[in-house]
Amino acid sequence: MKKILVTGGGGFIGTNFIEAYKDKYEICAPTSAEMDLTRFEDVNAVFRDNKFDAVVHLAGKHDGLTDSVLQADNLIMFKNVQYAAILYGVRKLLVVGDAADMDLSRPIVQVSEEAFGATIPTSGYGLGRYLIHLLASKDKISTVLRFFGVYGKGARVEHNRPLGILSHAVTGKKEIALPADKTFSTIYIEDACRILSMFLDNDYPKGAYNVASPTPATLFEFAKKARAYAKKDERELVLTLGDGEENELTADVNKLLDTLGNFKFTALGTGINKTLDYYKAHKSKLKPKSDKK
């Protein structure tokens, strides 16, 4: 059984991954209290006391901090994990990132992995993510999995826009008002976790991969699915869409598809219904959490 270190195991993707694969791998997922990733002494101790076959680096700070702190802390956390992984002979480091490593002030249309660095973000989080991905490209063990969006159970409604739209279907709200539509790439959480597992189990070429369903989605599609779901409970949701338009954010996933082979992605409608079934049974999880530090 492979021994895997998961950083950020308490987050959306980490929680789902650990729940799905805790019997397949021996997973070590220290809390921030048990291992402060900004302190190399903490990171070194965990690597020294364990012999990890691979690391899944999910940890990152997003909220309630200044740009400079986000950039510095996230970069320091990755550098500590990267250095320790190399020092202790870990063969594989999966760096889970997102599209913030590009300049999101402009449309991103079917962007390929080779476009990395063509535009560089200026925000603290985005610049930190760019530098992390740049550093990951310099070693022999890291693979960057750039998720353009993930939806499903366990997401935080205040930080997951598709879930914010879907939540109308299971709460008392009567209207979904979208000021503009957006076309974007995304992936259902169960697919995201399966792909992580496949990269752990197989010797795929190192490098960067865009991770998303090959079929882009729109915010309006999520809203329509929410309205249809509400109708099952004889609730009528009013759906309004403004005439504005938001920047597209879509990924070219040919490299991923060629690498994985015959991977069956969850259809958007199926993923949305499974997500809504979960939150219908766990409505309390739709309440925003406090970001107070």
User: pLDDT confidence of 292, banded at 50, 70, 90?
Assistant: very low
**Residue % of the chain over a pLDDT of 70:** 96
The kind and range of the H/E element at 222 are helix 219-232
DSSP string spanning 233-279? TT-PPEEEEEEEEPPPEEE--HHHHHHH-S--PPPHHHHHHHHHHHH
Q: Is 56 helix (H, G, I), strand (E, B) or coil?
A: strand
Helix axis angle for 189-201 and 268-281, nearest 10°, is 110
b/e burial code for range 75-105 (CB count within 10 A of at least 16 → b): bebbbbbbebbeeeebebbbbbbbbbbbebe
User: pLDDT tens, 163-180?
Assistant: 999 999 998 788 999 999
Distances (CA, A) of 195 to 22, 173, 178, 190, 212: 15, 35, 32, 9, 10
Domains delineated in the chain: 3-286 (3.40.50.720)
User: pLDDT tens, 201-228?
Assistant: 999 999 999 999 999 999 999 999 999 9
The kind and range of the H/E element at 111 are strand 108-111
User: pLDDT confidence of 61, banded at 50, 70, 90?
Assistant: confident
Handedness of CA 229, 230, 231, 233 (dihedral sign): positive
Q: Which residue, 102, 62, 76, 85, is CA-closest to 143?
A: 85
Quick check: 99 and 55 in contact, CB under 8 A?
no
User: pLDDT confidence of 67, banded at 50, 70, 90?
Assistant: low
User: pLDDT tens, 233-274?
Assistant: 888 999 999 998 899 999 999 999 999 999 999 999 999 999
- Helix, strand, coil percentages in the chain from 3-state DSSP, rounded to 5: 40, 20, 40
Q: Which residue, 129, 31, 40, is CA-closest to 87?
A: 40
**The CA-based dihedral angle spanning residues 44, 45, 50, 53, taken in that order and rounded to the nearest 10 degrees:** -20
Quick check: 147 and 97 in contact, CB under 8 A?
yes
DSSP string spanning 146-212? EES-EESTT--TTT-HHHHHHGGGTSS--EEEEEEE-EE--EEHHHHHHHHHHHHHS-PPSEEEEES
Distances (CA, A) of 139 to 3, 76, 84, 206: 21, 16, 12, 10
Whole-prediction pTM value? 0.94
> Half-sphere exposure of 63 toward its Cβ, with a 13 Å CA cutoff?
9
Least confident segment among 51-65, 127-141, 186-200, 270-284: 51-65
User: pLDDT confidence of 65, banded at 50, 70, 90?
Assistant: low
Q: Which residue, 135, 28, 19, is CA-closest to 79?
A: 135
